[in-house]
Amino acid sequence: MMPTTRRTTIALLAAALVAAGCGKQEPPKPAADAPKPPPELTVRIGMAAPLTGPQGHLGKDVENGARLAIEEANAANIVVGGNRLRFELVAEDDEASGTKATVVAQSFVDRKVVAVIGHMNSGASIPASKIYSDAGIAQVSPSATAISYTAQGFRTTFRVMANDSQQGRVLGEYAVRQLGAKRVAIIDDRTAYGQGLADEVERAVKAAGGQVVGREYTTDKATDFRSILTSLRARKPDLVFFGGMDAQFGPMVEQARTLRLQAQLMGGDGVQSAQFIKLAGAAADGVVASSPGLPLDKMPGGAAFADKFKAKFNTDIQIYAPFAYDATWAVIEAIKAAGSAEPARLLEALGKREHRGVTGVIAFDEKGDIRGGGVTLYSVKGGAWQTLETIGGAAPAEAPAPAPAAAPAPAPAK
Partner 1 sequence: MRDPRRLRLVGLALGLLALLLAPFLVDALLGRAWVRVLDLVLLYAMLALGLNIVVGYAGLLDLGFVAFFAVGAYLYALCASPHFGLHLPFWLLLPAAALLAAGVGVLLGAPTLRLRGDYLAIVTLGFGEIIRIFLNNLNAPVNLTNGPQGITMIRPIEIAGVSMARPVELAGLTVPSLHLYYYLFLGFAALALVVSSRLEDSRIGRAWIAIREDEVAARACGVNTRDLKLLAFALGASFGGVAGALYASFQGFVSPESFGLTESVMILCMVVLGGMGHVRGVVLGAALLVALPEALRYTGPLQRALLGSVYIEPSDLRLLLFGLALVLVARWRPAGLWPSPVRRRELAERHAPGGPESAQ
Partner 2 sequence: MLGSIYALVALGYTMVYGILGLINFAHGEVVMVGALVAITAIGVLGPATGLPGPLLLLVALGVSVLACMLLGALLERVAYRPLREAPRLTALITAIGMSIVIQNLAMLAWGRQYLSFPALLPNEPMILLGATVTGTQLIIVALTALAMVVLMGLVNRTRLGRAMRATAQSPALASLMGVNVDRIVVVTFLVGSALAALAGVMVAGYYGQAHYHMGFMLGLKAFTAAVLGGIGNIPGAMVGGLALGVIESLGAGYIGALTGGFLGSHYQDVFAFAVLVLVLVFRPSGLLGERVADRA
From residue 170 to residue 199, what is the string marking binding to partner 1 with x (rule CB under 8 A)?
Answer: --------------------xxx-xxx---
Could you tell me which of 82, 121, 90 has the C-alpha nearest to residue 107?
90
Does 126 bind partner 1 (CB under 8 A)? Our answer is yes
Does 316 bind partner 2 (CB under 8 A)? Our answer is yes
Nearby residues of 166 by Cβ (< 8 Å), 6 or more positions away: 292, 369, 373, 375, 392, 399, 402
Which amino acid would we find at residue 199? D
Query: Applying CB under 8 A, which part among 41-49, 77-85, 214-222, 261-269 lies near partner 2?
Result: 214-222
The 3-state DSSP class for residue 89 equals strand
Query: Applying CB under 8 A, which part among 10-18, 163-171, 228-236, 337-345 lies near partner 2?
Result: 228-236
To partner 1, the closest distance from the beta carbon of 18 in angstroms equals 5
Q: Which of 44, 88, 148, 203 binds partner 1 (CB under 8 A)?
A: 148
To partner 2, the closest distance from the beta carbon of 249 in angstroms equals 11
From residue 216 to residue 245, what is the string marking binding to partner 1 with x (rule CB under 8 A)?
Answer: -x----------------------------
Q: Which of 22, 311, 403, 406 binds partner 1 (CB under 8 A)?
A: 22
To partner 2, the closest distance from the beta carbon of 277 in angstroms equals 9
Please, where are the H alpha helices in 49-94? 56-75
How far apart CA 37 and CA 45 sit, in angstroms, is 20
Does 312 bind partner 2 (CB under 8 A)? Our answer is no
Report the interhelical angle of 122-135 vs 192-207 (nearest 10°): 100
Nearby residues of 11 by Cβ (< 8 Å), 6 or more positions away: none
Q: ω into residue 355 within 30 of 0, thus cis?
A: no
Counting residues that bind partner 1 (by CB under 8 A) gives: 49
Cβ-contact 48, 124 below 8 angstroms: yes
Q: Which CB atom, from 192 or from 337, has the smaller least distance to partner 1? A: 192
Does 192 bind partner 2 (CB under 8 A)? Our answer is no
Q: Which CB atom, from 217 or from 251, has the smaller least distance to partner 1? A: 217
Does 254 bind partner 2 (CB under 8 A)? Our answer is yes
Cβ-contact 117, 47 below 8 angstroms: yes
Does 60 bind partner 2 (CB under 8 A)? Our answer is yes
Selection from partner 2, partner 1, none that 19 binds (CB < 5 to 8 A by kind) is partner 1
Exposed / middle / buried, residue 29 (Cβ in 10 Å: 0-12, 13-18, 19+): exposed
Selection from partner 1, partner 2, none that 406 binds (CB < 5 to 8 A by kind) is none
Cβ-contact 391, 375 below 8 angstroms: yes
How far apart CA 391 and CA 246 sit, in angstroms, is 22
CA 237 to chain CA centroid, Å, is 31
Q: Which CB atom, from 249 or from 323, has the smaller least distance to partner 2? A: 249
Does 37 bind partner 1 (CB under 8 A)? Our answer is no
Exposed / middle / buried, residue 376 (Cβ in 10 Å: 0-12, 13-18, 19+): buried
How far apart CA 219 and CA 95 sit, in angstroms, is 18
By CB under 8 A, name the binding residues for partner 2.
52-54, 56-57, 59-60, 190, 215-219, 221, 223-224, 226-228, 230-231, 246-247, 250-251, 254, 258-260, 275, 278-281, 315-316, 318
By CB under 8 A, name the binding residues for partner 1.
1, 5, 8-9, 11-12, 15-16, 18-19, 21-23, 26-27, 51-52, 91-93, 96-100, 102-104, 106-107, 109-111, 122-123, 126-127, 130, 146, 148, 151-152, 190-192, 194-196, 217
